[in-house]
Amino acid sequence: MATEILMPALSPTMEEGTLAKWLIKEGDTVSSGDIMAEIETDKATMEFEAVDEGIVGKILIGEGTEGVKVNTPIAILVEEGEDSSALPAAAPAAAAVSEAAPAAVEAPAPATAAPAAPVVDLSPDWPADAEMAQQTVREALRDAMAEEMRGDQDVYLMGEEVAEYQGAYKISQGLLDEFGAKRVIDTPITEHGFAGIAVGSAFGGLKPIVEFMTFNFAMQAIDQIINSAAKTLYMSGGQMGCPIVFRGPNGAAARVAAQHSQDYAAWYMQVPGLKVVMPYSAADAKGLLKSAIRDPNPVVFLENEILYGRSFDVPQVDDLTVPLGKARIWREGSDVTIVSFGIGMQFALEAADKLAEEGINAEVIDLRTIRPMDTGAIINSVMKTNRLVTVEEGWPQGSVGGYISSVVMQEAFDYLDAPVINCTGKDVPMPYAANLEKLALVTTDEVIAAVKQVTYR
Amino acid sequence: MAARKTTKKPNVSAEELTTYYREMLLIRRFEEKAGQLYGMGLIGGFCHLYIGQEAVVVGLEAAAEEGDKRITSYRDHGHMLACGMDPGGVMAELTGREGGLSKGKGGSMHMFSKEKHFYGGHGIVGAQVPLGAGLAFADKYKENGRVTFTYFGDGAANQGQVYETFNMAALWELPVIFVIENNQYAMGTAQARSTSTKDIYHRGEAFGIPGEIVNGMDVLAVKEASQKAVAHCRAGKGPYILEVKTYRYRGHSMSDPAKYRTREEVQKVREQSDPIEHVRELLLSGKHASEDDLKAIDKEIKEIVNQAAEFSKESPEPSVEELWTDIYA
């Protein structure tokens, strides 16, 4: 049976090429792996090997022919004893056009530009009459890990200084004593490596909590976080998920300068497959971390060193969880919506207090989860207040606030009575000098000024 | 390139040899077909063929038991076939179709099978090495006696994360076999131009990881080394390194003209050290099989590959809804 040899595509972008040289002639016997021809693509001259065995019955495209389209028959192989005289004569170069390409694609539905606004969930996270106790964010995070580790043997904690040192920031205080060295594991200073090992262990059925001493160091590991943890479920067609939490302090602390003072919320927010959490209060830190540990997806959990020692009311309920992707309205108001998260909430709430003294009632929303983002809660609020200010510590270009602005523009443009203002950190690496550092950070006064601008006061 | 030293008087059954012949031939024919489909425009993007390296994965797999895990780089088709994944599903993934093992969403470099304990298929050079140690970490944590085969190339062996992983794997005595598939070229850069040491496995000694060189063109030698490494890991002695010297006949990927080596160099390996010819000779000289027996196997393999190719062409493209699925569990 005669087999047509087709002009091959020899690069991801090749559509045609030059048949530079034949290394075989009619009547030759070829077997799999023999080099038959040299073909010039737009990038290089490639050797073209035989796949099938046979005798060259006919060469259809002469050497030196340019512009031979991919999938044009260039030669015919016959089996031993087969008559090649009946084969068609050489076709003119570049005559045939590919028919072997995949079936024509139906026009795909246009990608949705932005997610549809979810139904706003205004349900309380815990019973209104729950008994409260003051607890620091530090203690709340530790309790969250301890409770989840008690409940699930597959949960373990890994990171630098998490065990014997009791945590560089004392978040894991007491965990080694309770759970032992098998489940509370000190690592060498090797973020890329241990993040990869943790991700692999999640593929293997465990539920790791990876503590980065700070998220600045997680940049060493960002390939494993994004390429391995976030994308594998999709790349495996849903077979292999990665239940893992990457947590640690994020953003500026105090006087630690540029390499130790960066807010990564906007970086991780961009990645489909990741969930990104950035709590402000102790109750949310606890409830969200517990939910993050149980979540079957990779979660980036951004904490803040300055908030670690701050105390908040924490409801004394069994198994306090807060759902990921649900914003919290901290303060209701009618004149302007202020949206923030993490330590930005401190400035948002301070500003709201001061603005109230001047008769401006701000509604303050804590996103708590940056991805998936509860844009419904923001839009719902903007429809009431018609004005929006966002507050974050990160840089302005490609910020969380920038994304929120675009969503509100698309989904609630007609409700806006003023341009949205994004209060952010300044567009500079963090300086060391105390006065300059203060200037680089977002401030309560800036939030107040922004609110006055959008309310035309 | 270690010239093949035919294993002296191999103590191996006809059945075993036939199995290796069949498995290696399946990989070879599958890859040739993939190259052909690439040429026809049915496979897109990057496509890295395993032709020439077949004895490595077939020999390693010969020592694996049910539940053992494997993970590798983007040159992964051979590993998938060797651990029993369906050739049709693999080929349909290459053509980006619904019937592909990742529903067409992963492609040549990103395929997985929970059922066969195959953890990818990773496109970032070296990233699979800590991931493989992590799989071993999970097994040690669960105390289930499993081992993980973590494959990477001589190119990946220069990535920093490999040595971060060696350190932790040795420190924590993880049951992981690091298989360095040394095909002598990191894309177009010969090992001597990229790597300070001739034998890469020596680097494990700095971390206290034992290792050895294996002739990767001899499936029996690979199997023997694999058994030794597996026994070491299962005994709880920590990681083991096998540096398997092998050779890829084709370019780094389909679009590599391979001008960094001579045609004669490739031809010499093909003629003198081909791993499939080796087993073929053993089968014939040991009177384990006749030419006709082998022809029948060839025919059978060709049929499997043709069916896989047909399936990969007939399977429809994924539905447009698939764009939005499998992002979150």
**DSSP assignment of A116-172:** PPPPP----SS-TT--EEEEEHHHHHHHHHHHHHHH-TTEEEEETTSSTT--TTSTT
pLDDT of residue B134: 98
Task: With respect to residue B319, please indicate whether it lies within any of the assigned structural domains.
Answer: no
- State which H helix or E strand residue B29 sits in: helix B14-39
Sign, CA torsion B276/B278/B284/B288: negative
Q: Smallest Cβ distance to B164: which of A98, A190, A297?
A: A190
B325 inside domain: no
Residue B329 lies in a domain: no
Output the pLDDT for position A79.
84
pLDDT in tens, A413-452: 999 999 999 999 999 999 999 999 999 999 999 999 999 9
Contact A70 B102 (CB under 8 A): no
* Residue at B5 is within a domain: no
Q: Quick check: B38 pLDDT over 50?
A: yes
pLDDT over 80 (residue A86) = no
Q: How far apart are CA B318 and CA A103, in angstroms?
A: 12
Tokens of A174: 């007491």
Mean pLDDT of the residues in chain B:
95
Residue A88 is predicted with a pLDDT of 57
CATH of domain A3-78: 2.40.50.100
Question: Average of pLDDT values for A189-197?
Answer: 98
Rounded (to 5) percent helix, strand, coil in chain A: 30, 25, 50
User: What is the spatial distance between Cα B60 and Cα A138, in angstroms, rounded to a whole number?
Assistant: 48
Is there a catalytic annotation at residue A260? yes
Choosing among 1.10.390.10, 3.40.50.920, 3.10.105.10, 1.10.287.110, the CATH entry for A328-454 is: 3.40.50.920
A346 close to B (CB below 8 A): no
- Say which CATH number the domain at B193 has: 3.40.50.970
A132-315 carries CATH number 3.40.50.620: no
> A228 at the B interface (CB within 8 A)?
yes
Q: CA of A81 to nearest chain B CA: how many angstroms apart? A: 19
pLDDT over threshold 50, residue A103: no
The count of CB pairs under 8 A between chains A and B is 216
> Residue B66: which domain range?
22-310
By the 10 Å C-beta count (0-12 exposed, 13-18 middle, 19+ buried), A437 is classed as middle
pLDDT tens sequence across B263-295:
899 999 999 999 999 999 999 999 999 999 999
B166 has a pLDDT exceeding 60: yes
The pLDDT of residue A91 is 46
Q: How confident is the model at residue B18 (pLDDT cuts 50, 70, 90)?
A: very high
Which of A8, A109, A198 has its CB closest to that of B320?
A109
Q: Is the residue at B318 inside a domain?
A: no
* Pairing relationship of beta strands A35-40 and A54-59 according to DSSP bridges: unpaired
Residues of chain A within CATH 3.40.50.970 domain(s) are 132-315
Structure ipTM over 0.90, yes or no: yes
DSSP-derived secondary structure letter, B317: P
Would you call A60 helix, strand, or coil by DSSP? coil
Give the nearest partner residue to A228 out of B131, B167, B326, using CB atoms.
Answer: B131
Tell me whether residues A273 and B39 touch, CB distance under 8 A: no
Q: pLDDT band for position B8 (50/70/90)?
A: low
In contact, A312 and A281? CB cutoff 8 Å: yes
Q: What is the pLDDT of residues A157-174, one digit of tens each?
A: 999 999 999 999 999 999
Which chain A residues contact residue B102 at CB under 8 A? Answer: 235-237, 239
For the stretch B82-135, pLDDT in tens is 999 999 999 999 999 999 999 999 999 999 999 999 999 999 999 999 999 999
Distance separating alpha carbons of residues B139 and B136, to the nearest angstrom: 5
Q: How confident is the model at residue B260 (pLDDT cuts 50, 70, 90)?
A: very high
Q: How many structural domains compose chain B?
A: 1
Domain with CATH 2.40.50.100 in chain A: 3-78
pLDDT of B16 higher than 90: yes
**In chain A, ranges of CATH 3.40.50.920 domains:** 328-454
Distance of residue A113 Cα from the nearest chain B Cα, in angstroms: 13
pTM confidence score: 0.91
A-contacting residues of B 280-319, CB under 8 Å?
A: 316-317
- How much is the mean pLDDT over chain A? 92
Whether the per-residue pLDDT at B66 is higher than 90: the answer is: yes
| Residues of chain B above pLDDT 70, percent | 97
* pLDDT 10s digits, B188-227: 999 999 999 999 999 999 999 999 999 999 999 999 999 9
> What number is the average pLDDT over the span A393-409?
98
B229 pLDDT more than 90: yes
pLDDT score at A35: 86
Which two three-digit tokens encode residue B223? 């199997």
Tokens at residue A220, please?
């060493």
Q: Which band of pLDDT confidence, cut at 50, 70 and 90, is reported for residue A98?
A: very low
Give A96 or A175, the one with higher predicted confidence.
Answer: A175
Q: Which of A315, A250, A254 is nearest to A278 (CA)?
A: A250
